[in-house]
Amino acid sequence: MSVPETGSFGDFVARAHRAGTLVVQPRMGVSGPAAMRTGLVATRKATATAVGTITLDSYTRMGDNVNARAALAAGIELNGYPIVAHDPAVTRAVLDGVAGPEFPVQIRHGSPCPEPIVAALIQAGLHATEGGPVSYCLPYSRMPLEDSIPNWARSCDLLADVRATGAEPHVESFGGCMMGQLCPPGLLVALSVLECLFFRQHGIRSVSLSYAQQTNPDQDTEALLALRRLATQWLPDLDWHIVVYTYMGVYPRTPAGATGLLEEAARLAVRAGAARLIVKTVAEGYRIPTFAENVAALETAALAADSCLTIVGDPGDTGIHAEASALIEAVLDLGPDLGAALATAFRRGYLDVPYCLHPDNAGRARSYVDSAGRLQWSSIGSLPIRGVVGPTSSARPTAAGLLAALSYVERRFDNASLEQEYQADSVGSAPDDRDPDPGDRSPAASRPA
């Protein structure tokens, strides 16, 4: 069986973006080859402009391919596709007749040691992946940055060699998604740009910059426009686009709440000129979604995007661009080698991710959600942004405050959906049929625990 010609991931997204279409993408991965192929086929058939995803399992992410192979031999279902444990011919068969120039497939993994993964995806005929030396190290492992950084440098070098075959490899920075939530936008924007600069230093010419939807749509729009300005400034010689992640924190548990959050993410992506959206499903709050639920999410997002107009004008400037610029420039001033500069920046606390427990993270920066739902710094530690951010909160963070911030988005969307349901029921009820105690049907009373 021949290796499938998958075309360029970046070119596919660019063509769709020029046509005014948002590309949507699921996060999908199962260990069985037949099932993985079924998921890809379902994604391709969705009523949406979609790209495919093969998400890898936990063993493969951490380089434990011995246990991945043992699980396959024992018929144990894994939480993703073990691409290194599967023979390359098996993965080529999964992709044959499905992946191609009109349906590129990306490998998503979460590994600080991705060389075997990159080698396996190249053998399978693929050339698009995501991650980064910081963003796939700090949240997911205890591996020192001084190991993750050279691992990612060698992996980028390996992927860049694919260009000799006529394909253009693509790497997406996960830097805009650090910890999924409660990371102020300026740091997310800076990390995404810095990782793409690292990729460029190691031969990658096609990249995407990520940003995860946070707690306030206006703040998110400002962040995405800042990301666009900085990518234009720092990556003028690269093919790049912006990808938005639907909210990665505690997800609404009601179907209407989950759908409303996804639709808001799609509108955010269109308003801010992003080219691609990673979707989430109505099942995210409590279990792994089915293929059908993933397809429904793709189609819901595509429909919401089609009904939205790109933003006109300036949404306001609260300093996100200045903050991200200061962080980027402080790291670049540490030396010409981006890998060494990133390691030094974390060692000095110039980069510091709130609530991240990795040993290489200083852990002095803290954030909170203010009364308008915006993410703000409560402490900046040694971040070099003292001159560009407003006063930080003097209140000490509490466990109750942190839990409230973590559930802020879930509560906002679930409460809104339950309020709409309650009002619809009240309007639709005849006077004689009304509940004797309507207070029992209030959103607070009926909200899931």
Q: Is residue 379 part of a domain?
A: no
Using the predicted structure, report yes or no on whether residue 57 has a pLDDT greater than 80. yes
Q: Which of 306, 334, 360 is the last residue of a domain?
A: 306
Q: Is the pLDDT of residue 441 over 70?
A: no
Torsion angle (degrees, nearest 10) of CA 289, 301, 230, 12: 90
Residue 120 resides in a domain: yes
Query: Considering the domain boundaries, does residue 207 fall inside one?
Result: yes
283, 306, 329: which is the final residue of a domain?
Answer: 306
pLDDT of residue 427: 52
- Total of domains in the chain: 2
Predicted confidence at residue 2, as pLDDT, reads: 40
DSSP helix/strand/coil, 359: coil
Mean pLDDT (the chain, rounded): 90
Q: Do 267 and 144 fall within a single domain? A: yes
Answer whether residue 317 is part of any domain.
no
User: So what's the pLDDT on residue 48?
Assistant: 98
Domain match, 116 and 233 both:
yes
Does 293 lie in the same domain as 412? no
Question: What are 347's two structure tokens?
Answer: 């060692």
Average pLDDT over residues 418-443: 47
- Does one domain contain both 290 and 419? no
pLDDT category at 413 given cuts 50, 70, 90 is confident
Does residue 109 sit within a domain?
Answer: yes
pTM score above 0.85: yes
Q: At what angle do helices 217-234 and 255-271 cross, to 10 degrees?
A: 40
Mean pLDDT of 301-313: 83
Residue 4: pLDDT band (50, 70, 90) is very low
Go through the chain and tell me how many residues it has.
449
Residue 321 lies in a domain: no
Looking at residue 180, its pLDDT comes to 80
Domain that includes residue 127, residue range: 9-306
Integer CA distances (angstroms), 128 to 6, 74, 109, 153, 164, in order:
10, 30, 12, 16, 15
Two structure tokens written together for 201: 């230093």
CATH number at residue 252: 3.20.20.240
424 and 294 in a common domain: no
Please report which confidence band the pLDDT of residue 417 belongs to, taking 50, 70 and 90 as the band edges: low
Section 289-313 average pLDDT: 90
The per-residue pLDDT for range 264-276, each reduced to its tens digit, is: 999 999 999 999 9
Please indicate, yes or no, if residue 377 is contained in any of the structural domains: no
Lookup: tokens for 165: 């075959």
Structural domain includes residue 28: yes
Which of 249, 276, 306 is the last residue before a domain boundary? 306
pLDDT tens digits for range 19-34:
999 999 999 999 999 9
